[in-house]
Amino acid sequence: MDNPDTTGTAPWSDADVQARVEALLKTLSLAEKVGQLVQIGAADFVPGPKPDVVIRQGGAGSVLWLNDTKRFNALQKIAVEESPSKIPLLFALDVIHGYRTIFPVPLALAASWDPATIEGAQSVAAQEARAAGLHWTFAPMLDIARDARWGRIVEGAGEDPYLGAAVAAAQVRGFQGAYLGAPGRVVACAKHFAGYGASDGGRDYDPVYLSENQLRNVYFPPFRAAVDAGVGTFMSAYMDLNDVPATGNRWLLRDVLRGEWGFGGFVVSDAFAVGNLVTQGFARDARDAAQRALSAGLDVDMASSTYLDHLTGLIEDGTIPLEVLDDAVRTILAVKVRLGLFEQPYTDEGLLAEVIARPEHRAEARRAAQRSMVLLRNEGQLLPLSKSLKHITVIGSLANSKEATEGSWMVFGHVPAAVTMLEGLRAKLPDATIDYAPGPEINRDIPSWFESAMAGGSRAPQSPEDAESAYQAALATAQRADLIIMVLGEHANMSGEAASRASLDLPGRQEEVLKAVVALGKPVVLVLLNGRPLSINWAADHVPAILEAWEPGTEGGHAVADILFGDANPGGKLPVTFPRKGSHAPLYYARNTTHSPEESPLYNPRYWDGLPTPLYPFGYGLSYTTFALTNLAVSAPQVRVGDSASVTVDVTNTGAVAGDEVVQLYIHQRFGSDSRPMRELKGFERITLQPGETRPVSFALGPAELGYWSSHAGQWVQDATTIDLWVGSDSRATLHTQLVVTA
């Protein structure tokens, strides 16, 4: 079995690659160079000439929205044998959390707080995608999201830049392997650069206004980590950033990404975004859009054909220097050389079946799902459940939905095949009676275009009469059981792109059903399937056991059953704050204190109609065992600016079963050039401990952790100051010490 090279070195040296690229570049006409910067959409919804025609003319360098190995080879044959340049194509697709073996959605993977698990998941995704004939995935999505109303929060790693940076590097390593072009791997794409998650009101695509210090201290770190991990490509974000669209934003794409970070790959736009520079009121016309995008550092035009229509003329009349075009073409050719496409442009059409059948893929998906789940409540230790239970009722339409189990951002043409919650529970207890009642259906109030184009689409609306009979049937079924498992949350199309919402409540009549079932007085377990934080305020007070399962992927049903019946001990932690109301968003832990902090006698409530305290805080999650943290110590009581200290703590499993704890280190700078957040995550480690076992965990604290971009100074600084340090199992950590930093 040709396991991809994960430790080897690239067969090409950078000098070899560059020499090869220069030799290729010399052979290209102007039109052929422009073609390399054109990415053509192969889906039916894309207007304009068909891929075969454009490719044969040398008008495209890459293809997206196609998922068919035979078609890949057919189009590649046209490029390699019939186009003027004979240069092979790149095939790209959104492989966000699995190709055929679907892993938990990225927000769930982040909840594992386990870079090795995340890297492993994306490695499997890469192997399957490459076997299908794909070379390039539009992932990882690295947008920090602090507003749970934003639908695309599901695709990222949540609200924190430190966790987000660790997740970014792990995903890039998983997708790309030991080097760009490694066999069985794909080229990754850090997206959407930058600030997309901060759109006003969490409304997808809306403009973003962020200060430079917010960008540099919060939104940039995951992208910088991706560059440092060797990511091959970037994607510009759709929206205006401080009134300049990211797709035409020279400061972002040239000054920061290339000038400061030294990124050597290429930048692709988001879908139709080059052409939409006109729509957004930035470019005068398509020609102006082409000129300003390429000049700003945007290399590849995704699907808008603006480059195809205008770049040749812009070069010929001298508006754009030929060198600017050549520099962009060099970066695309370099990726094709590194992928070995000139030696092997085609895909073995029998490979995919072998790769997706590897049993370890589903085993890895099941383990990743187990490790991503977060135990939110377990009053009276109701969980884990006994396997001698005889009669269970499962309620909720999500409980038997393959789409809801696999979640948003399914790969083009993928047919969900997940093990649902109901199937997983029945497999776990084959001798028990496990009844099922869907209860009233849930649907978006307003559909999106994506529902027609991608799996997870909306269901036929349910009449009030049908909903009522489904409600009654659910209660009747619940009456017969010893225990009820409610599976509630959101459908796959209720988060993701064009899936923002104003409320964070359980959609539809789900909470009504939950209340009625709880009123029966039987034990109730709530399993959440969702792509964003939900304001499950009533459940948090009245349902004894609550498991956040997110959208757990192909093996989701087995993984939930593993946890509910104790074959796996939950150890996940929330990568994002759960607000009590949608209107409290954006809500996040790493915010600055004020002159009227909560501990002040002069404290004034932030809202008089209810305090915006989180329902569940960042970093929170329970286990079936308990842990104690002791002996917090710092290697020195003070260090000089620029030096490092080591922070250590002992972690003990004080319970009766083995389990994982995610030990978290938070800092607060008491004074300095700028006001800094009350708490910031600056270290974490997930460790497994046997009952009674104690292990030390240590973290380094130095300029990388203590420095920041100062709004006041307009540059990176590290202050001489006093740092509060807390170590604990979530962002409310209380075990405290301090570190003095001297000039």
Q: Kindly list the catalytic residues.
A: 270
The token duo for 242 is 């401080």
Provide the minimum distance between the beta carbon of 218 and ligand GLC in the complex, in angstroms, as a whole number.
20
Residue 271 or 733 having the CB closest to ligand GLC: 271
- 592's CB contacts (< 8 A; 6+ apart) are 675, 676, 677, 678
Q: Does 46 bind ligand GLC (CB under 6 A)?
A: no
Q: What is the 3-state secondary structure (H, E, C) of 366-409?
A: HHHHHHHCEEEEEHHHCCCCCCCCCEEEEECHHHHCHHHHHCCC
End-to-end CA distance of the chain: 57
- 378's CB contacts (< 8 A; 6+ apart) are 544, 545, 546, 622, 624
Distances (CA, A) of 574 to 111, 184, 238, 454: 5, 32, 28, 28
Instruction: Please tell me the count of residues contacting ligand GLC according to CB under 6 A.
Output: 6
Provide the minimum distance between the beta carbon of 512 and ligand GLC in the complex, in angstroms, as a whole number.
35
Provide the minimum distance between the beta carbon of 496 and ligand GLC in the complex, in angstroms, as a whole number.
9
DSSP string, 312-334: HHHHHTTSS-HHHHHHHHHHHHH
Distances (CA, A) of 94 to 136, 226, 376: 9, 17, 31
Provide the minimum distance between the beta carbon of 226 and ligand GLC in the complex, in angstroms, as a whole number.
15
Provide the minimum distance between the beta carbon of 683 and ligand GLC in the complex, in angstroms, as a whole number.
31
Residues 593-652 that bind ligand GLC (CB under 6 A): none
User: Could you give the CA distance from residue 570 to residue 564 in angstroms, rounded to a whole number?
Assistant: 9
Residue 351 or 494 having the CB closest to ligand GLC: 494
Kindly provide the residue ranges of all beta strands, DSSP E only, lying in 71-224, ordered along the sequence: 90-93, 136-137, 189-193
Residue 293 or 564 having the CB closest to ligand GLC: 293
Provide the minimum distance between the beta carbon of 263 and ligand GLC in the complex, in angstroms, as a whole number.
18
Q: Binding marks (x or -) toward ligand GLC, 165..204, rule CB under 6 A?
A: --------------------------x-------------
Q: Does 271 bind ligand GLC (CB under 6 A)?
A: yes
Pairing of strands 240-241, 244-245: antiparallel
Query: 């380094």: which residue's tokens?
Result: 700
Provide the minimum distance between the beta carbon of 71 and ligand GLC in the complex, in angstroms, as a whole number.
17
φ and ψ at 461, to 5 degrees? -60, 145
Residue 270 or 288 having the CB closest to ligand GLC: 270
Q: Binding marks (x or -) toward ligand GLC, 84..123, rule CB under 6 A?
A: ----------x-----------------------------
| Among residues 270, 364, 548, 730, the one that binds ligand GLC under rule CB under 6 A | 270
For 372-384, b/e burial (b = at least 16 CB within 10 A) is bbbbbbbeeebbb
Which residue has the CB atom at the shortest distance from ligand GLC?
138
Provide the minimum distance between the beta carbon of 153 and ligand GLC in the complex, in angstroms, as a whole number.
13
The token duo for 492 is 């796959």
Answer yes or no: are the C-beta atoms of 564 and 525 closer than 8 Å.
yes
Q: Binding marks (x or -) toward ligand GLC, 337..376, rule CB under 6 A?
A: ----------------------------------------
Residue 66 or 271 having the CB closest to ligand GLC: 271
- Pick left, alpha or beta for residue 692 (phi over 0 → left; psi -120 to 50 → alpha; otherwise beta): left
Q: Does 162 bind ligand GLC (CB under 6 A)?
A: no
Helix or strand or coil: residue 362? helix
Residues 420-439 that bind ligand GLC (CB under 6 A): none
Residue 138 or 282 having the CB closest to ligand GLC: 138
User: Could you give the CA distance from residue 532 to residue 504 in angstroms, rounded to a whole number?
Assistant: 8
Q: Alpha carbon 355 to chain centroid distance?
A: 24
Residues 485-524 that bind ligand GLC (CB under 6 A): 497
Residue 191 or 338 having the CB closest to ligand GLC: 191
Residue 406 or 497 having the CB closest to ligand GLC: 497
| Among residues 12, 103, 138, 150, the one that binds ligand GLC under rule CB under 6 A | 138
Helix or strand or coil: residue 476? helix
Site of interaction with ligand GLC (CB under 6 A): 94, 138, 191, 270-271, 497
